[in-house]
């Protein structure tokens, strides 16, 4: 019998998830091939196979058979991936994990399990052992303190504010904490290599100040120094609010967040919904529109957290301690550190860490944070390049798992959006350069109005300025193209192995916007391409591709306009049950 692998469970889970997804994709390709083979003619082409029964098997039939086998194997590997994920959920109580297998005895493998034996037979022992699906995950040791589920315990809240030369704004941040309906029990400003009056302003406002010692790891390193002393001795009634020094929270923030944590002992963290501060002209309003749509999406998902924002989030102290102890084995990062100092987006990485460990998070509408907006295109480029690259690197380190599947889907959606939008720009540019006249289609104009309605509905709560900016579509379309350029740049930098850095400043973003705005000027010069281009096969294929993408995004826009189905379906079931 082979020895038990010493690879950490997160490696097995990521590998199993990637293999399962790859098998499902391959099965889909085989089914598409079978469909294409059938559509080639009324009678699909057949390949004569020499068998005792003298059978003739079609290519389409072989493809469908192989697809069915791959789906079955993918389901088995996917089940193993889910069981591996369950073995890492130390922040979720065991009775909430369905279908658990018995715990493995030390030094023995439960080869008698029917699931394990089925996987061994279908995958072959070498493949099963290579993928780690022949192992029964051990029952995780809960990081939640024992002693039942007492609710109603009054929590003790400590606020940590990492600050680096924030003299100009730290006063407003502390004032927002002092104005809370339920004030925090302790406020600590973590002064990181400050050379201005940040320390003096913080102490004058009544906050404790802890100055970092030889920290070279930015915000994450500063927080780790304080949390190393704060978290290990914290009890189950301790929570930590981490917020940026350039952000303010609404007076109801702490009261609402702490009430949720006190009522639900299984809730691990409460994140804020961030709003953009006023000012910064057009670029500021574009960011406020973007943030407003994000808040609406969170509300439509029943306040489920996508990113536990670093601007202001409350986390249970023992959950932070569990993250520190799980690093290096269950989750990536240096053992004993709450924040992974190698992550460019430490809040996104901490979110993945908590979700991987089974933590349940929420972002209620009562917890609002006002944060700064970038005032120049250059600053916005730098900020979003860090965001995009950090997100990509985070999911790359964690791999494809149960906790990261949604984030992989988001990145693939962004990539598809890039192809769709720039294909549309290409089609419009070629058409205007080659056509001697343009005829507008009522059908496509009607679909275009759906986008107008969706743009207005999704920012309606932000205010009249947001609606005025969203109605013409063009400014936000250019803004979306600008963000997509940043997204592609982040991918190129990762593939090229370019070293990431907080101080990296790429070329000015205004150049990219200028290219987009120059298209009407070029087309005004007249017909610059031969009209024959409009009758080529590749132009027809481009038209079909853009039309397909348009229909897809129209469908997505309609879903954004309509009320969320998740709220309607359960209510309908409750009414039916009551009747």
Q: Is the pLDDT of residue 180 over 90?
A: yes
Query: What is residue 270's predicted lDDT score, i.e. its pLDDT?
Result: 94
Tens of pLDDT, residues 232-249? 888 889 999 999 998 999
Q: What tokens appear for 360 in the block?
A: 């349940």
User: Tokens 């933590």 belong to which residue?
Assistant: 359
- Supply 1's token pair: 């019998």
Q: Is the pLDDT of residue 49 over 70?
A: no
Write down the number of H helices and E strands in the chain.
Answer: 19, 12
Q: Give the list of residues 6+ apart from residue 515 with CB closer than 8 angstroms, or none.
A: none
Intra-chain end-to-end CA distance of the chain, in Å: 59
pLDDT above 90 as % of the chain: 39
pLDDT at 47 (0 to 100): 54
> Is the pTM higher than 0.85?
no
Closest CA to 295 of 396, 370, 400, 232: 370
Q: Which two tokens stand for residue 186?
A: 């302790």
Dist CA 234 CA 224 (whole Å): 15
Q: SS3 of 362, please? A: strand
Other C-beta atoms lying within 10 Å of the C-beta of residue 545: 16
Give the tens place of pLDDT for each residue, 434-470.
887 777 788 888 888 999 999 999 999 899 999 999 9
Q: How confident is the model at residue 419 (pLDDT cuts 50, 70, 90)?
A: very high
Q: What are phi and psi of 50, to 5 degrees?
A: -80, 110
Query: Any residues with CB less than 8 A from the CB of 371 and at least 6 apart, and which?
Result: 244, 246, 247, 274, 275, 276, 277, 311
Say how far apart CA 315 and CA 357 lie, in whole Å.
Answer: 14
Element (H or E) spanning 313, and its range? strand 312-316
């Amino acid at each position: 019998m082979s020895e038990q692998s010493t690879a950490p469970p997160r490696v097995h889970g990521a590998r199993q998830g990637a293999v399962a997804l790859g098998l499902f994709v391959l099965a889909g390709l085989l089914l598409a091939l079978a469909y294409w083979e059938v559509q080639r003619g009324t009678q699909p082409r057949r390949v004569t196979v020499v068998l005792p029964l003298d059978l003739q098997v079609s290519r389409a039939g072989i493809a469908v058979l192989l697809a069915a086998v791959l789906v079955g194997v993918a389901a088995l590997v996917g089940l193993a991936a889910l069981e591996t994920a369950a073995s890492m959920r130390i922040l979720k109580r065991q009775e909430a994990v369905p279908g658990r297998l018995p715990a493995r005895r030390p030094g023995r493998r439960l080869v008698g399990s029917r699931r394990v034996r089925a996987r061994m037979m279908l995958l072959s022992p070498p493949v099963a052992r290579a993928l780690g699906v022949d192992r029964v995950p051990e029952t995780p040791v809960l990081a939640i303190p024992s002693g039942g589920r007492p609710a109603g315990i009054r929590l003790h809240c400590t606020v940590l504010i990492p600050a680096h030369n924030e003299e100009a704004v730290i006063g407003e941040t502390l004032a927002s904490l002092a104005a809370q309906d339920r004030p925090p029990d302790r406020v600590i400003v973590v002064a990181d290599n400050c050379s201005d009056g940040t320390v003096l302003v913080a102490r004058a406002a009544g906050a404790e100040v802890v100055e970092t010692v030889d920290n070279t790891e930015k915000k994450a390193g500063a927080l780790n120094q304080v949390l190393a002393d704060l978290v290990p001795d914290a009890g189950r009634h301790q929570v930590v609010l981490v917020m940026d020094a350039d952000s303010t929270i609404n007076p109801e923030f702490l009261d609402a967040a702490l009430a949720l944590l006190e009522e639900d002992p299984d809730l691990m963290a409460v994140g804020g919904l961030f709003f953009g501060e006023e000012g910064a002209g057009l670029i500021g309003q574009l960011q406020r529109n973007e943030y407003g749509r994000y808040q609406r999406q969170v509300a439509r998902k029943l306040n489920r957290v996508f990113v536990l924002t670093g601007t202001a989030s409350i986390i249970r102290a023992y959950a932070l301690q569990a993250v520190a102890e799980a690093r290096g084995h269950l989750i990536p990062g240096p053992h004993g550190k709450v924040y992974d100092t190698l992550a460019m987006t430490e809040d996104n990485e901490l979110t993945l860490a908590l979700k991987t460990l089974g933590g349940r998070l929420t972002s209620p509408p009562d917890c609002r944070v006002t944060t700064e907006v970038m005032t120049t295109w250059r600053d916005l480029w730098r900020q979003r390049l860090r965001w995009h690259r950090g997100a990509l690197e985070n999911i790359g380190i964690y791999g494809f798992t149960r906790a990261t599947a949604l984030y992989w889907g988001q990145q693939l959606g962004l990539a598809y959006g890039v192809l769709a939008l720039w294909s549309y720009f290409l089609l419009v540019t070629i058409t205007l350069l080659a056509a001697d006249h343009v005829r507008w289609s009522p059908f496509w104009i009607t679909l275009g109005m759906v986008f107008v309605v969706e743009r207005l509905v999704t920012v309606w709560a932000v205010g009249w300025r947001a609606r005025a900016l969203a109605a013409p579509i063009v400014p936000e379309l250019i803004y979306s193209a600008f963000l997509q350029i940043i997204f592609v740049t982040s991918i190129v930098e990762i593939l090229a192995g370019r070293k990431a850095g907080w101080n990296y400043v790429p070329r000015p973003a205004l150049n990219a916007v200028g290219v987009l705005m120059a298209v009407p000027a070029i087309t005004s010069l007249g017909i610059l391409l031969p009209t024959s281009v409009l009758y080529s096969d590749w132009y027809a294929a481009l038209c079909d591709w853009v039309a397909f993408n348009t229909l897809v995004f129209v469908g997505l826009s309609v879903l954004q306009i309509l009320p969320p189905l998740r709220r309607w379906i359960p209510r309908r079931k409750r009414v039916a049950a009551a009747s």
